[in-house]
Amino acid sequence: MSAVKRNIRTKPSPKNWQGSNRNDCQLLSITKVDNFIIREYIPCMATKERLASLLEREDGKFISGEAIAEILGITRAAVWKNIRLLQEDGYLIEAVKNRGYRLTGANDVLSPGSVTKYLGGAAEEFSLEVTGSVTSTNTVMKERADSLPDWHVLIAQSQSEGRGRSGRSFYSPAETGLYISIIQRPDIPAWQATKITTAAAVAACRAIEECTGESAGIKWVNDVYVRNRKVCGILTEASFSMETGELEWVIMGIGFNVYEPQGGFPEDIAHIAGAISTERIKDLRSRMAASFMKHFRDLCRDLNASDFYSEYRKRSFIIGRQITVFKAEGPVNAEAVGIDDECRLEVVYGDGTRETLSSGEVSIRTV
């Protein structure tokens, strides 16, 4: 039997890679096609992240320690060390003698590879960054806003100083939540920036329903509810030119309570906070991140689309309800009677006067 001639062919590097030398990237896979060995490279990352991407790519199939060592260019001892590190990060990895390693069970650890996999072709529309713990995704993005490209996405596993509206904190534990900030520079008047918040709320509802089948509704203006519990909050921040009045950038930050944290939610929010899923589901956070990103991007292409506002109104469960409007002078009781074409809340107070609210805080009253 004659030996197969083995030629080496490598896939070209994407244009946005830094450098063309293969030392600037890492080997992801080796595939035999006819008489060729195709080696696929991806940009450099830490060994642990490279190993995670490789295991995710195998999608539950065993891969030997020897093969991992060859593909990643590390020793067998380094393979074992990094397997342990991934397990400490929450990856469920099965190790079987003479077979190797594979991901098992409902792995739901966020990584660039897992999010990109579910983005599919839409990945080209984003600049994606996935990290561990940050102070706040919005804070980090604001500090780097001038140097970031449009549609740069920062996803964090947890936040130590997560922020909500009106300066409130946003509880952001590790392993159970999904925290995303996205920067864009839309060509819209500054006063229309609030439409980005409403677009995010609709996109969040779509992502939840698409990935879990749970029905999601909106409490004006930026809270998403599942099973009568708040599971998602949105904070949109912007910078605009004082000279021209034009927007310089808008950063939309969103936090999802995907699972209930161990020990439950803190006492001060336990009466209102809830989780999207009651059980761990394989790659749920990655799938939700990708789904949200795609829906949000689509909605932001035309913030004036009539079907967008129709969906926002349809999902709003506050219309017709007795509410409390929190004003600077104190809380005032009212009835929510509608949402206009700018997604502003129309209310009627007890004395019959009407007001249209473009922002602010409201709560539903139990009567």
Please give the mean pLDDT across all residues of the chain. Answer: 86
- Three-state DSSP class for residue 264: coil
State pTM to two decimals.
0.79
All structural domains of the chain = 7-103 (1.10.10.10), 112-315 (3.30.930.10), 322-364 (2.30.30)
Judged by phi (left if over 0) then psi (alpha if -120 to 50, else beta), residue 150 lies in beta
Query: Would you state the pLDDT for residue 45?
Result: 62
pLDDT category of residue 3 using cuts at 50, 70 and 90:
very low
pLDDT category of residue 15 using cuts at 50, 70 and 90:
very low
User: What are 203's two structure tokens?
Assistant: 């996109």
Whether 93 and 61 have beta carbons less than 8 Å apart is answered as no
Query: Would you state the pLDDT for residue 35?
Result: 60
Query: Would you state the pLDDT for residue 306?
Result: 76
Query: Would you state the pLDDT for residue 40?
Result: 53
Query: Would you state the pLDDT for residue 239?
Result: 93
Q: 63-99, pLDDT tens digit by residue?
A: 999 999 999 999 999 999 999 999 887 788 999 999 9
Nearest 5°: the CA angle 358, 363, 367 is 130
The alpha carbon dihedral of 137, 140, 142, 146 has a sign of negative
User: What are 311's two structure tokens?
Assistant: 């969906």
Whether 100 and 64 have beta carbons less than 8 Å apart is answered as yes
Q: 189-231, pLDDT tens digit by residue?
A: 888 888 999 999 999 999 999 999 999 999 998 899 999 999 9
For the segment 271-299, the average pLDDT, to the nearest whole number, is: 95
For the segment 263-283, the average pLDDT, to the nearest whole number, is: 93
Query: Would you state the pLDDT for residue 33?
Result: 57
Per residue in 169-187, is it b (16+ CB within 10 Å) or e — as a string?
A: ebbbbbbbbbbbbbbbbbe
Query: Would you state the pLDDT for residue 12?
Result: 38
Q: 142-193, pLDDT tens digit by residue?
A: 999 999 999 999 999 999 988 877 667 788 988 899 999 999 999 888 888 8
